[in-house]
A and B are shown apart, each in its own frame.
Chain A
Amino acid sequence: MNVLLYLVPLALGLGLAGLFAFLWSLKSGQYEDLDGAAVRVLSDDDLTEESRK
């Protein structure tokens, strides 16, 4: 059962990482405009002149 010594903390660590990623994205306002996020990917405005060629 020694395998539990690192597998359980690993599972919890991954879970916590996911939770913190979610809290961070929530705090940075990424859930405020879900429709906008869906259509903004279609826009080319953020491309530089070179990458457009």
Chain B
Amino acid sequence: MSGDVSTAPRSERWSGYALLTVMAIAVVLPFLSVFLASVQPAGTPVVGLTWPERWSWANYEQAWSVAGFSDLIRHSLIIAVGVVPASLVLATLAGYALGTMRLPGGNAVAAFFIAGLTIPVELIVVPLYFDLRGLGLTNSFLGVILVEIALFLPFSVFWMRTHFQSTPQSLVEAARIDGASPATILLRILLPLARPSLTTLGLLVFMWSWKQFLLVLVLIQDTTRHTAPAGLGFFVGQNTTDIPTLAAGTIIVMLPILVLFVIFQRSFIVGLLQGAMKG
């Protein structure tokens, strides 16, 4: 960002930052409130935003062991580890063909994938429960993994297709003339270039998988196999009074995605903004 046209009058510059800061505070306050509640000694009546007199991390131990958040986190990770690589592979293959080859009817197929962006979980969850139960895939991580992959594929395919469309066609042509097979072109030439797009897509898919709630609530009714959000939702129903432990559980559920967001914030933000644009 160069500063030529950008030099604002001092007053306008500061009022701009003041406005941004007010908005930022509005975003942060809820997080701060729940965090401060989570470090109050257990059993203290907590009111709004209260600085704890004594910092206590016992609620985290409590939530981790008693409320079973270690299992919940583990289950969420198992599902994400199933969903992310499979989504990347399937989307790369499909995006490669739809983005670089002249397939008969290729545009229609691409449009068919994109149409899936409008499918809300509500629309598919009811028959999924009965169909997957028939296959023995309810209360199983595999069932959730397969459905999540399918649910994120419209976006994933579109994302990778756009990526491959934007890589120079001459690269592909040159390799083709040298006699490289489509598989070789993908593996040797295009894939190394696709790294940033794949990273962003992987992070987005991980995030969506981590956030998924309704699907898990329906497909995994066995509470000992719940994921982090489902467990938290269930915990709320069971435990409305113990605010510090509930707050600690909430922070625990947020933490993994928060850590990733801090590390990869650029990829996340680019993905969320561009991804929305492409959708």
| A and B interact physically | no
Residues of A within 8 A of B (CB): none
Residues of B within 8 A of A (CB): none
